[in-house]
Amino acid sequence: MSSANGAYRPPAWLPGGHVQTIYASLLPRPEVRYRRERVETPDGDFVDFDWLETTAGAGAPLVVLFHGLEGSSSSHYARALMRHVRVIGWRGVVPHFRGCSGEPNRLPRAYHSGDYSEAGWMLATIRARVPDAPMFAAGVSLGGSALLNWIGRESVQAPALLMAAAAISTPLDLTVSGLSIDQGLNRIYSRHFLSTLVPKAMDMARRFPAMLDEASIRRAQTMYAFDEAVTAPLHGFAGAEDYWFRASSKPWLRKIGLPTLVLNAKNDPFVPASSLPGPQDVGPGVLLEQPEHGGHGGFPAASLPGGLDWLPARLVSFFRSAAA
Protein backbone atom coordinates (compact mmCIF):
# COMPACT_ATOMS: atom_id res chain seq x y z
CA MET A 1 0.00 0.00 0.00
CA SER A 2 1.18 3.54 -0.58
CA SER A 3 2.13 6.11 2.01
CA ALA A 4 -0.58 8.58 2.96
CA ASN A 5 -1.27 11.38 5.38
CA GLY A 6 -3.88 10.66 8.02
CA ALA A 7 -7.02 12.76 8.26
CA TYR A 8 -6.41 13.72 11.89
CA ARG A 9 -6.54 17.44 12.59
CA PRO A 10 -6.02 18.74 16.14
CA PRO A 11 -8.25 21.40 17.68
CA ALA A 12 -6.65 24.84 17.44
CA TRP A 13 -6.80 25.21 21.20
CA LEU A 14 -4.69 22.07 21.71
CA PRO A 15 -1.29 22.69 20.10
CA GLY A 16 1.85 20.59 20.42
CA GLY A 17 2.68 16.94 20.80
CA HIS A 18 3.19 17.05 24.56
CA VAL A 19 -0.15 18.77 25.10
CA GLN A 20 -2.04 16.39 22.80
CA THR A 21 -0.44 13.36 24.46
CA ILE A 22 -1.16 14.43 28.02
CA TYR A 23 -4.61 15.87 27.31
CA ALA A 24 -5.82 12.64 25.71
CA SER A 25 -4.67 10.64 28.74
CA LEU A 26 -6.56 12.98 31.09
CA LEU A 27 -9.89 12.92 29.27
CA PRO A 28 -12.73 10.95 30.93
CA ARG A 29 -12.36 7.28 30.06
CA PRO A 30 -15.40 5.58 28.54
CA GLU A 31 -17.15 3.04 30.73
CA VAL A 32 -16.75 -0.49 29.44
CA ARG A 33 -17.18 -3.84 31.13
CA TYR A 34 -14.84 -6.78 30.77
CA ARG A 35 -14.87 -10.46 31.58
CA ARG A 36 -11.45 -11.61 32.73
CA GLU A 37 -9.99 -14.92 31.63
CA ARG A 38 -6.77 -16.22 33.15
CA VAL A 39 -4.76 -18.21 30.64
CA GLU A 40 -1.85 -20.50 31.48
CA THR A 41 1.27 -19.89 29.39
CA PRO A 42 3.35 -22.71 27.87
CA ASP A 43 6.21 -21.98 30.30
CA GLY A 44 4.09 -22.31 33.46
CA ASP A 45 3.13 -18.69 34.01
CA PHE A 46 -0.16 -16.88 33.34
CA VAL A 47 -1.61 -13.90 31.48
CA ASP A 48 -5.01 -12.28 31.81
CA PHE A 49 -7.29 -11.61 28.86
CA ASP A 50 -10.02 -9.00 29.37
CA TRP A 51 -12.90 -9.77 27.01
CA LEU A 52 -15.32 -6.95 26.21
CA GLU A 53 -18.80 -7.58 27.57
CA THR A 54 -21.04 -7.27 24.53
CA THR A 55 -24.21 -8.67 23.02
CA ALA A 56 -22.50 -9.24 19.66
CA GLY A 57 -22.96 -12.70 18.19
CA ALA A 58 -20.33 -15.40 17.85
CA GLY A 59 -19.63 -14.49 14.22
CA ALA A 60 -19.07 -10.79 14.87
CA PRO A 61 -15.60 -9.41 14.07
CA LEU A 62 -13.11 -9.39 16.94
CA VAL A 63 -10.50 -6.69 17.65
CA VAL A 64 -7.46 -7.67 19.73
CA LEU A 65 -5.66 -4.74 21.37
CA PHE A 66 -2.06 -4.96 22.60
CA HIS A 67 -1.52 -2.23 25.18
CA GLY A 68 1.54 -0.02 25.56
CA LEU A 69 4.24 0.18 28.22
CA GLU A 70 2.61 -0.20 31.65
CA GLY A 71 -0.80 -0.03 30.00
CA SER A 72 -3.82 -2.26 30.48
CA SER A 73 -7.44 -2.72 29.49
CA SER A 74 -8.14 0.43 31.51
CA SER A 75 -5.85 2.67 29.46
CA HIS A 76 -7.64 5.56 27.77
CA TYR A 77 -6.99 4.26 24.25
CA ALA A 78 -8.14 0.76 25.24
CA ARG A 79 -11.44 1.89 26.69
CA ALA A 80 -12.08 4.21 23.76
CA LEU A 81 -11.49 1.46 21.22
CA MET A 82 -13.49 -1.12 23.15
CA ARG A 83 -16.45 1.24 23.49
CA HIS A 84 -16.41 1.92 19.76
CA VAL A 85 -16.18 -1.79 19.01
CA ARG A 86 -19.16 -2.49 21.23
CA VAL A 87 -21.25 0.29 19.69
CA ILE A 88 -20.79 -1.02 16.14
CA GLY A 89 -21.63 -4.59 17.15
CA TRP A 90 -18.13 -6.03 17.12
CA ARG A 91 -16.24 -7.84 19.86
CA GLY A 92 -12.96 -7.00 21.60
CA VAL A 93 -10.30 -8.39 23.88
CA VAL A 94 -7.26 -6.90 25.60
CA PRO A 95 -4.56 -9.47 26.45
CA HIS A 96 -2.28 -8.18 29.19
CA PHE A 97 1.45 -8.52 28.97
CA ARG A 98 2.98 -10.19 32.00
CA GLY A 99 2.80 -8.11 35.14
CA CYS A 100 0.29 -5.61 33.70
CA SER A 101 -3.01 -7.05 34.91
CA GLY A 102 -2.59 -6.12 38.57
CA GLU A 103 -0.86 -9.23 39.92
CA PRO A 104 2.82 -10.28 39.90
CA ASN A 105 3.65 -13.17 37.64
CA ARG A 106 5.16 -16.45 38.76
CA LEU A 107 8.32 -16.41 36.69
CA PRO A 108 11.28 -14.02 36.35
CA ARG A 109 9.96 -12.63 33.10
CA ALA A 110 8.28 -9.40 32.10
CA TYR A 111 7.57 -8.04 28.60
CA HIS A 112 9.31 -5.88 26.02
CA SER A 113 8.99 -4.23 22.62
CA GLY A 114 10.35 -7.24 20.76
CA ASP A 115 8.17 -9.79 22.54
CA TYR A 116 6.86 -11.16 19.25
CA SER A 117 6.67 -14.79 20.36
CA GLU A 118 4.39 -13.83 23.25
CA ALA A 119 2.23 -11.70 20.96
CA GLY A 120 1.99 -14.54 18.45
CA TRP A 121 1.07 -17.06 21.14
CA MET A 122 -1.62 -14.70 22.45
CA LEU A 123 -3.10 -14.28 18.98
CA ALA A 124 -3.12 -18.02 18.35
CA THR A 125 -4.76 -18.61 21.73
CA ILE A 126 -7.45 -16.03 20.98
CA ARG A 127 -8.00 -17.40 17.47
CA ALA A 128 -8.63 -20.86 18.96
CA ARG A 129 -11.46 -19.34 21.00
CA VAL A 130 -13.02 -17.58 17.99
CA PRO A 131 -12.19 -19.90 15.08
CA ASP A 132 -14.71 -18.54 12.60
CA ALA A 133 -14.87 -14.79 13.23
CA PRO A 134 -12.98 -12.12 11.28
CA MET A 135 -10.09 -11.10 13.55
CA PHE A 136 -8.08 -7.88 13.61
CA ALA A 137 -5.25 -6.73 15.87
CA ALA A 138 -4.06 -3.31 16.98
CA GLY A 139 -1.10 -2.35 19.12
CA VAL A 140 -0.30 0.95 20.81
CA SER A 141 3.33 2.01 21.35
CA LEU A 142 5.18 -1.00 22.83
CA GLY A 143 2.22 -3.22 21.92
CA GLY A 144 2.48 -2.02 18.34
CA SER A 145 6.18 -2.86 18.33
CA ALA A 146 5.61 -6.42 19.51
CA LEU A 147 2.78 -6.84 16.98
CA LEU A 148 4.81 -5.52 14.03
CA ASN A 149 7.75 -7.70 15.01
CA TRP A 150 5.48 -10.73 14.87
CA ILE A 151 3.76 -9.81 11.60
CA GLY A 152 7.09 -9.18 9.91
CA ARG A 153 8.78 -12.31 11.23
CA GLU A 154 5.74 -14.53 10.69
CA SER A 155 4.70 -13.23 7.29
CA VAL A 156 3.22 -16.61 6.34
CA GLN A 157 1.38 -17.34 9.57
CA ALA A 158 0.01 -13.82 10.12
CA PRO A 159 -2.67 -13.94 7.38
CA ALA A 160 -3.87 -17.28 8.79
CA LEU A 161 -4.77 -15.56 12.07
CA LEU A 162 -5.58 -11.98 11.10
CA MET A 163 -7.36 -10.12 8.34
CA ALA A 164 -5.55 -6.85 9.09
CA ALA A 165 -3.57 -5.08 11.79
CA ALA A 166 -2.66 -1.59 12.98
CA ALA A 167 0.22 -0.14 14.98
CA ILE A 168 -0.24 3.25 16.64
CA SER A 169 2.50 5.54 17.96
CA THR A 170 5.01 2.71 17.71
CA PRO A 171 8.68 3.44 18.47
CA LEU A 172 9.88 1.72 15.32
CA ASP A 173 13.55 2.49 15.97
CA LEU A 174 14.05 1.76 19.67
CA THR A 175 17.51 3.28 19.81
CA VAL A 176 16.27 6.67 18.63
CA SER A 177 13.17 6.58 20.85
CA GLY A 178 15.04 5.12 23.82
CA LEU A 179 17.47 8.02 23.79
CA SER A 180 14.74 10.58 23.09
CA ILE A 181 12.51 9.65 26.02
CA ASP A 182 15.28 10.41 28.50
CA GLN A 183 15.90 13.94 27.20
CA GLY A 184 14.33 17.30 28.02
CA LEU A 185 10.60 17.43 28.68
CA ASN A 186 10.32 13.78 27.68
CA ARG A 187 11.66 12.88 31.11
CA ILE A 188 8.09 13.48 32.29
CA TYR A 189 7.14 10.26 30.52
CA SER A 190 10.18 8.24 31.54
CA ARG A 191 9.62 9.14 35.18
CA HIS A 192 5.97 8.20 34.84
CA PHE A 193 6.85 4.77 33.44
CA LEU A 194 9.63 4.20 35.98
CA SER A 195 7.27 5.00 38.86
CA THR A 196 5.60 1.62 38.28
CA LEU A 197 8.32 -0.31 36.45
CA VAL A 198 10.91 0.08 39.21
CA PRO A 199 8.73 -1.16 42.12
CA LYS A 200 7.64 -4.19 40.10
CA ALA A 201 11.24 -4.96 39.18
CA MET A 202 12.36 -4.53 42.80
CA ASP A 203 9.76 -7.07 43.87
CA MET A 204 10.96 -9.47 41.18
CA ALA A 205 14.59 -8.97 42.24
CA ARG A 206 13.70 -9.94 45.81
CA ARG A 207 11.94 -13.07 44.58
CA PHE A 208 14.65 -13.95 42.04
CA PRO A 209 17.93 -12.47 43.30
CA ALA A 210 19.98 -14.59 40.90
CA MET A 211 18.32 -12.89 37.92
CA LEU A 212 18.30 -9.22 38.88
CA ASP A 213 20.45 -6.83 40.91
CA GLU A 214 18.29 -4.88 43.33
CA ALA A 215 20.83 -2.09 43.78
CA SER A 216 21.06 -1.47 40.02
CA ILE A 217 17.29 -1.28 39.75
CA ARG A 218 17.10 1.16 42.64
CA ARG A 219 19.57 3.46 40.88
CA ALA A 220 17.69 3.40 37.55
CA GLN A 221 16.49 6.91 36.76
CA THR A 222 16.35 6.60 32.97
CA MET A 223 14.77 4.12 30.59
CA TYR A 224 18.26 3.21 29.39
CA ALA A 225 19.32 2.31 32.93
CA PHE A 226 16.13 0.32 33.47
CA ASP A 227 16.52 -1.64 30.25
CA GLU A 228 20.16 -2.27 31.14
CA ALA A 229 19.30 -3.50 34.65
CA VAL A 230 16.00 -5.30 34.02
CA THR A 231 14.74 -5.76 30.45
CA ALA A 232 18.03 -7.05 29.04
CA PRO A 233 18.93 -9.63 31.71
CA LEU A 234 15.38 -10.93 32.04
CA HIS A 235 14.97 -11.56 28.32
CA GLY A 236 18.35 -12.67 27.07
CA PHE A 237 19.81 -9.44 25.71
CA ALA A 238 23.43 -8.39 26.28
CA GLY A 239 22.37 -4.93 27.45
CA ALA A 240 20.07 -2.03 26.66
CA GLU A 241 21.73 -1.25 23.33
CA ASP A 242 21.50 -4.87 22.23
CA TYR A 243 17.84 -4.94 23.25
CA TRP A 244 17.02 -1.75 21.39
CA PHE A 245 18.78 -2.98 18.24
CA ARG A 246 17.35 -6.51 18.16
CA ALA A 247 13.80 -5.60 19.26
CA SER A 248 13.21 -2.71 16.85
CA SER A 249 10.35 -3.41 14.45
CA LYS A 250 11.43 -1.04 11.66
CA PRO A 251 13.65 -3.62 9.87
CA TRP A 252 10.71 -6.04 9.70
CA LEU A 253 8.32 -3.66 7.97
CA ARG A 254 9.69 -4.74 4.58
CA LYS A 255 8.49 -8.29 5.22
CA ILE A 256 4.87 -7.37 5.90
CA GLY A 257 2.28 -8.44 3.35
CA LEU A 258 -0.72 -8.46 5.69
CA PRO A 259 -2.78 -5.24 5.38
CA THR A 260 -1.25 -3.19 8.20
CA LEU A 261 -1.77 0.45 9.15
CA VAL A 262 1.29 2.09 10.73
CA LEU A 263 0.12 5.38 12.25
CA ASN A 264 2.64 7.81 13.74
CA ALA A 265 2.13 11.49 14.45
CA LYS A 266 5.11 13.58 13.37
CA ASN A 267 4.91 15.55 16.63
CA ASP A 268 5.10 12.45 18.84
CA PRO A 269 7.30 13.59 21.75
CA PHE A 270 9.51 10.52 21.85
CA VAL A 271 9.17 9.00 18.38
CA PRO A 272 11.10 11.60 16.34
CA ALA A 273 9.79 12.19 12.84
CA SER A 274 13.30 11.59 11.51
CA SER A 275 13.06 7.95 12.63
CA LEU A 276 9.82 7.24 10.77
CA PRO A 277 9.87 4.96 7.71
CA GLY A 278 9.19 5.98 4.15
CA PRO A 279 7.58 3.97 1.33
CA GLN A 280 10.94 2.41 0.48
CA ASP A 281 11.16 0.91 4.00
CA VAL A 282 7.94 -1.10 4.00
CA GLY A 283 6.39 -4.15 2.41
CA PRO A 284 3.36 -4.24 0.11
CA GLY A 285 0.86 -4.61 2.94
CA VAL A 286 1.86 -1.53 4.91
CA LEU A 287 -0.08 1.73 4.81
CA LEU A 288 1.92 4.56 6.38
CA GLU A 289 -0.04 7.42 7.89
CA GLN A 290 2.03 10.20 9.40
CA PRO A 291 -0.15 13.19 10.25
CA GLU A 292 1.57 16.33 11.48
CA HIS A 293 -0.23 16.18 14.83
CA GLY A 294 -1.60 13.70 17.35
CA GLY A 295 1.10 13.24 19.96
CA HIS A 296 1.86 9.81 21.41
CA GLY A 297 -1.23 7.62 21.60
CA GLY A 298 -3.25 10.82 21.75
CA PHE A 299 -5.25 12.06 18.75
CA PRO A 300 -7.87 13.86 20.90
CA ALA A 301 -11.01 14.85 18.99
CA ALA A 302 -11.52 18.46 18.02
CA SER A 303 -14.95 19.24 19.46
CA LEU A 304 -14.98 20.80 22.92
CA PRO A 305 -14.35 19.53 25.52
CA GLY A 306 -12.44 16.98 23.43
CA GLY A 307 -12.82 13.25 23.16
CA LEU A 308 -11.16 10.01 22.17
CA ASP A 309 -13.32 9.09 19.17
CA TRP A 310 -10.99 9.78 16.25
CA LEU A 311 -8.52 6.92 16.71
CA PRO A 312 -11.08 4.10 17.20
CA ALA A 313 -13.02 5.27 14.16
CA ARG A 314 -9.86 5.39 12.05
CA LEU A 315 -8.83 1.88 13.08
CA VAL A 316 -12.23 0.35 12.37
CA SER A 317 -12.41 2.17 9.03
CA PHE A 318 -9.06 0.66 8.06
CA PHE A 319 -10.06 -2.81 9.21
CA ARG A 320 -13.29 -2.65 7.22
CA SER A 321 -11.54 -1.48 4.06
CA ALA A 322 -8.87 -4.19 4.39
CA ALA A 323 -11.51 -6.89 4.79
CA ALA A 324 -13.67 -5.70 1.91
Catalytic (active-site) positions: 141, 268, 296
How far apart CA 242 and CA 237 sit, in angstroms, is 6
* All residues at 6 or more sequence positions from 4 whose CB lies less than 8 Å from its CB, including other chains: 287, 288, 289
- Omega prior to 312 cis, within 30 of 0: no
Instruction: With beta carbons less than 8 A apart as the criterion, state whether 119 and 151 touch.
Output: no
CA distances from 42 to 9, 48, 93, 121, 202 (A): 44, 14, 20, 9, 25
How far apart CA 89 and CA 172 sit, in angstroms, is 32
